[in-house]
């Protein structure tokens, strides 16, 4: 049975780690994915990345209308020149929100739960969440895009 994982909260240093590639999706990774899916659902998140549950490996979960989508080693292969602003939050930075500009459309390549390589095109909120979660794998947080003066209420790193 999947279990709920603890969410790492900012300014924990784990959130700043550059995560490593997953060589092969095995049962251990699949178990982590199930646990992350449950955790995202319980916390009512739109996405979740490995480092947010203390696993500094390249795996993210996206909440889609068809259910949770797990992406291993996701990589953006193309991004639109056009960007758009949207409000973002993060389970690791509770009760804090800010407007971030993201590419409107992206193409992504990733490995699925069964080690299959998948390509997909995303736009709008879906594209935004993928960009936010891939940032997590590189130790980047959405607050990094906000003006310094907006970060006064956050603890110091
Ligand atoms: Ni986040």
Angle, alpha carbons 77-61-139 (nearest 5°) = 65
Note the pLDDT tens digit of each residue in 71-100.
Answer: 999 999 999 999 999 999 999 999 999 999
Closest CA to 11 of 139, 150, 145, 149: 139
Is residue 42 very low, low, confident or very high in pLDDT (cuts 50, 70, 90)? very high
**Rounded distance, CA 81 to CA 43, Å?**
33
pTM: 0.97
In the chain, what are the domains?
13-151 (3.90.45.10)
Q: Is 133 a catalytic residue?
A: yes
CA pair distance 46, 44, nearest whole angstrom: 7
For residue range 130-154, list pLDDT tens digits in order: 999 999 999 999 999 999 999 999 9
Average pLDDT over residues 53-80: 97
114 marked as part of a ligand binding site:
no
136 is in an annotated binding site: yes
Residue 32 CB coordination number (10 Å): 21
């Amino acid at each position: 049975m999947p279990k709920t994982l603890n969410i790492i909260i900012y300014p924990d240093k784990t959130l700043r780690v550059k995560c490593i590639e997953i060589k092969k999706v095995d049962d251990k990774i699949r178990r982590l994915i199930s646990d992350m899916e449950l955790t995202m659902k319980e916390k009512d998140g739109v996405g979740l990345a490995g480092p947010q549950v203390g696993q500094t490996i390249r795996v993210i979960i996206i909440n889609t209308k068809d259910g949770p989508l797990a992406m291993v080693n996701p990589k953006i292969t193309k991004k639109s020149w056009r960007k758009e602003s949207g409000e973002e939050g993060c389970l690791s930075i509770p009760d804090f929100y800010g407007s971030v500009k993201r590419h409107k459309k992206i193409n992504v390549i990733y490995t699925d739960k069964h080690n299959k390589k998948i390509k997909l095109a995303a736009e709008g909120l879906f594209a935004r969440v993928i960009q936010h979660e891939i940032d997590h794998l590189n130790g980047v947080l959405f607050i990094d895009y906000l003006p310094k003066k907006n970060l006064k209420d956050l603890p110091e790193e």
